[in-house]
Amino acid sequence: MMMRRECCLCLLLTNALVFIILYMYIQPGTNLPAFHEDSTNFYFKMKKIQNGVDGSEKTENYPGRCEDDLELLILVPSSLWNFRHREAIRKTWGNKDSSDAETRLLFFTGTSLSNETFQQMFKDEQGQFQDIVKVNITESYDNLTKKSIALLKWAHLNCPGVRYVLKSDDDMFINIQNLVNVLRKTKPKNAILGVKNSHSVPFRDKGSKWYVSREQYPKDKYPIYISGTAYVITGDIITSLYNSTLYVPSLFIEDVYLNGICRERIGAEAIHLSGFDPARNRGKINGRFFEKRITGHHFSPRDIILMWDELQTVLKSPRSVNNN
Ligand SMILES: *[C@@H]1O[C@H](CO)[C@@H](O)[C@H](O)[C@H]1NC(C)=O
Ligand SMILES: *[C@@H]1O[C@H](CO)[C@@H](O)[C@H](O)[C@H]1NC(C)=O
Ligand SMILES: *[C@@H]1O[C@H](CO)[C@@H](O)[C@H](O)[C@H]1NC(C)=O
Ligand SMILES: *[C@@H]1O[C@H](CO)[C@@H](O)[C@H](O)[C@H]1NC(C)=O
């Protein structure tokens, strides 16, 4: 009996030792030569690289520069053909009147609209609202990073004094007043804010939509990043964040690239904002839900308008006034 127990213990210890030695050998990343000193060096090129796109079409309806006192610049990537999404956002949460802050709303579309009817509709829309920047890229999931770089570049060139930039997808619902209130209270600097992701790993399965090879990204874990559906960049880092995209090889996963790798590169913070919701409202369309919250996503243009009307009713009700 005694003998067997000692044997067991011995075996266990040996196992543990072998395990530790093995672990030291196969520690993630150590087999990649470019990578064992300073992990961030791998992504950082001393020379400029071509990540973005040149030639945003400067049509006659190209939006002009920002006013100096702009508090919140709202930038929304939108597919060319999402006319109704843009219309809904203009009429609801993206409207200047949706908060007491000085805000400005702009959309960023790609190219590639073949149908002539649509072309004309788009031209009319550009002319009427003058709030669309057309970027010279094909609309596709793989080009989202390029669109976001273009958007950042636009802010860098045209809105140098802006306090905050909100990037939002065009299927989001956002309570801008709540967002502005939080920013005024916390006064964040040198940061990207939204839904924080801390433990994401690259998909190495070639069949996956998010497949990333070791050449594209060698580490086994992504840096902490803020989800791409909606996030806030503080105005003080717009230029340095854009500048970093000229040196850090791009990854098609927009939020990991910009809000993870590039953010880390410039030493900006990733801050979680409660009230930013990564999940849809459990399938229910409910404007009241946003009385206290800030964002929610996966909404159709019709949902957005319905919810906006609901929210206005709630905000105007006596109960709500008493709460304030
Ligand atoms: C748009 O990009 C294409 C290459 O992708 C290039 O050939 C073309 O000149 C660009 N257009 C403008 C207006 O810069
Ligand atoms: C453009 O596309 C729309 C929607 O698919 C269609 O109704 C319309 O007939 C098309 N117009 C032309 C000129 O092809
Ligand atoms: C991305 O846009 C470029 C033009 O800038 C185009 O050449 C390329 O085909 C697009 N990529 C995809 C996957 O559509
Ligand atoms: C852009 O980044 C490069 C590389 O880190 C740096 O040398 C340069 O000073 C930066 N420029 C600006 C305007 O931040």
Q: Which two tokens stand for residue 32?
A: 């990649």
Residue nearest to atom 3 of ligand 3 (CA): 137
Please determine, for residue 165, whether its predicted confidence score (pLDDT) is greater than 60: yes
| Ligand 1 atom showing the smallest separation from residue 55 Cα | 14
Please determine, for residue 25, whether its predicted confidence score (pLDDT) is greater than 50: no
Instruction: Render the burial of 102-133: b for 16+ CB within 10 Å, e for the rest.
Output: bbbbbbbbbeebeeeeeeeebeebbeebebbb
Residue nearest to atom 13 of ligand 3 (CA): 142
**pLDDT score for 34:** 34
| Number of the ligand closest to the Cα of 265 | 4
Confidence of residue 174 (pLDDT cuts 50, 70, 90): very high
Q: What are phi and psi of 135, to 5 degrees?
A: -95, 140
Distance CA 169, CA 145 (A): 13
Residues with CB under 6 A from ligand 3: 53, 136-138, 140, 142-143
**pLDDT score for 69:** 87
Helix, strand, or coil (residue 252) = coil
**pLDDT score for 282:** 60
With a 6 Å cutoff on the Cβ, whether 136 touches ligand 1 is yes
Model confidence pLDDT, tens digit, residues 181-240: 999 999 999 999 999 999 999 999 999 988 999 989 999 999 999 999 999 999 999 999
Residue carrying the six token digits 């791998």: 42
Nearest to 81 by CA among 129, 128, 114: 114
Q: What angle do CA 45, 51, 55 make, to 5 degrees?
A: 140
| Ligand 1 atom showing the smallest separation from residue 136 Cα | 1
Q: Looking at residues 32-49, what average pLDDT do you find? A: 48
Would you tell me the crossing angle of helices 83-91 and 116-129 to the nearest 10 degrees?
20
Distance CA 130, CA 303 (A): 25
Distance CA 74, CA 81 (A): 20
**Higher-confidence position of 226 and 292:** 226
Residue nearest to atom 2 of ligand 2 (CA): 115
Residues with CB under 6 A from ligand 2: 115-118
**pLDDT score for 114:** 75
Q: Which pTM does this prediction carry?
A: 0.83
**Higher-confidence position of 32 and 207:** 207
With a 6 Å cutoff on the Cβ, whether 129 touches ligand 4 is no
**Higher-confidence position of 10 and 282:** 282
3-state helix, strand, coil in the chain (%, to 5): 40, 15, 45
Least confident of 6-20, 54-68, 129-143: 6-20
Q: Which two tokens stand for residue 220?
A: 């086994």
Please determine, for residue 252, whether its predicted confidence score (pLDDT) is greater than 90: yes
CATH for the stretch 72-323 = 3.90.550.50
Please determine, for residue 148, whether its predicted confidence score (pLDDT) is greater than 90: yes
| Ligand 3 atom showing the smallest separation from residue 139 Cα | 14
Q: Looking at residues 244-261, what average pLDDT do you find? A: 94
Domain spans of the chain, in order of start? 72-323
Q: What is the DSSP letter of 170?
A: T
Q: What angle do CA 314, 317, 321 make, to 5 degrees?
A: 105
Hey, which of 82, 83, 118, 119 would you mutate to test ligand 2's pocket, going by the most ligand atoms within 8 Å of its Cβ? 118
